[in-house]
Amino acid sequence: MNQEKALVWFRRDLRDHDHAALSAALSNAREVHCAFIFDTDILDALPSRQDRRVQFIRESLVELDAALRARGGGLIVRYGRASEEIPNLARELGVASVYANRDYEPAAKARDAAVAENLEALGIAFHTRKDQAIFDGDDVLTQAGRPFSVFTPYKNAWLKRLTSADYAEWSWRGKLAPCASAAVPRLDQIGFAPTDLEQLGIRPGMSGARALWEEFRNGRMARYGALRDFPAIKGVSYLSVHLRFGTISIRELVRSAIAEESTTWLNELIWRDFYFMILDHFPRVVSHAFKPEYDAIRWAERPDWLAAWQEGCTGYPLVDAAMRQLNHSGWMHNRLRMVVASFLTKDLGLDWRLGERYFAWELNDFDLSANNGGWQWASSSGCDAQPYFRIFNPVTQSEKFDPEGKFIRRYVPELAAVPNKYIHAPWLMGRIEQEALGVIIGRHYPGPIVDHAEARAETLARYAVVKKTG
């Protein structure tokens, strides 16, 4: 260990353990300061001053600060442009180095480049570490030395490359510098208002992640493959928002998946790395199709259909229930993310970017890489996407994954009295049955805004342009 002082810049890694940048700083400096910046470049772009994600971050920071203070340090929290605040803070503290964990989003990479440049002008080093992924950069490449574009070969190479060292826990050895800064600012002090996190039962911070993880690992992980596609069943981990903000370590999850031989769960974690890799190597996907020929598609322009989809009023019960779940809670079951994305792009014929943007506004666990990857997969424009002629039927998806309509009835209560026979396609009820149940299609619940069979034919014609030019 040398005699330098260092600063660790926390971003989407809000924990005090198994933390690559923190471990590196503690190993290389005599004293380590810790900081978080409420970055106005990010906050000012949010559509609302009531944002569950901001509250989640703020409350996670309170817990992180307490954990760091218990170790003799604490968290310095600033509000402003990170590209300016980090160099200014580093200069004030007199540190020789700043450490941070890598981010793969184009805007984050540009921000980090600006920070590195500003620090260099001050004679301060900027070091980044791999933390939110198991593999990144050029860790996993094809035999030709290029990034993968198909998941299964990537997964196979990922598994072949993996050793226990890749998911080992980062150690803690060293000393935190005492922190005399004030407490983490309140939401109103950074211009935001409280949300319904508590009412929704969302528990931020490392303790919230730990509670969910223990429940999943000890109760559901073994049955994850069998239960994960059924939204009415508690079958998934619900850890996505914690992975997004790093209140739990990806290495811990991989360690457990391997120890428990949970192949399906491990595959989902590998998908996460895969989409990070795609975004890192192919940043054009942020605004363009991964397959360039798919940018030639002429999408429908129907703002009324988009609004119906957003509001959960399409007339297709499973689609509507999923969208209402999202609007109510900021979360959507993964199977349903695929269903509603397919419906928007292939039943309504609307541009996948419209759906991607809406999810970015609404999802508590919004992560650009996974969100973009999922939407491009559904629209067949992305890497390893399903073929354009495979189009989810929203009725058969409903029958298969919510057979008794339990999920539908929870989020579309106007259909509560509809029997299982009609719950997936209530427009098939006769007028007499509708009147007897008090559910008149077109009055109490909308009829389908498109006919799936007709929409499928239009989609095949729309995508034929790609087939000719691809």
Give the catalytic positions in this structure.
Answer: 268, 271, 299, 334, 352, 375
Q: Could you tell me the two tokens for 386?
A: 């399903």
Q: How far apart are CA 162 and CA 122, in angstroms?
A: 39
- Cα dist from 411 to 24, 175, 416, whole Å: 47, 51, 9
What number of CA atoms fall less than 13 Å from residue 42's CA on the CB side?
20
Distance set, CA 338 to CA 130, 332, 345 (Å): 29, 10, 11
The SS3 call for residue 99 is: strand
The amino acid sitting at 270 is I
| Contact yes or no for 462/456 (Cβ under 8 A) | no
Does residue 130 contact residue 158 with C-beta atoms inside 8 Å?
A: no
Contact in structure between 459 and 450 (CB atoms under 8 Å): no
Those residues whose C-beta lies under 8 Å from the C-beta of residue 45, and which sit 6 or more positions away, are: none
The dihedral over CA atoms of 271, 273, 358, 361, expressed in degrees to the nearest 10, equals 140
Q: How far apart are CA 339 and CA 392, in angstroms?
A: 7
How far is Cα 169 from Cα 173, in angstroms, rounded to an integer? 13
Nearest to 448, CA basis, from 432, 431, 426, 429: 426
Phi, psi of 98 (to 5 degrees): -120, 135
| C-alpha span between 22 and 33 (Å, rounded) | 10
- Measured CA to CA, the distance from residue 272 to residue 153 in angstroms comes to 15
**Do the beta carbons of residue 107 and residue 15 sit within 8 Å?**
no
DSSP E strand boundaries for 251-393: none
CA 458 → CA 164, 307, 392, 464, distances in Å? 50, 21, 14, 10
Specify the amino acid at residue 7: L
Q: Residue 37: beta bridge partners?
A: 78
24 φ/ψ angles, rounded to the nearest 5 degrees: -65, -45
What's the start-to-end Cα distance of the chain, in Å?
57
Secondary structure (3-state) at 8: strand
| Dist. CA 41–CA 102, nearest whole Å | 18
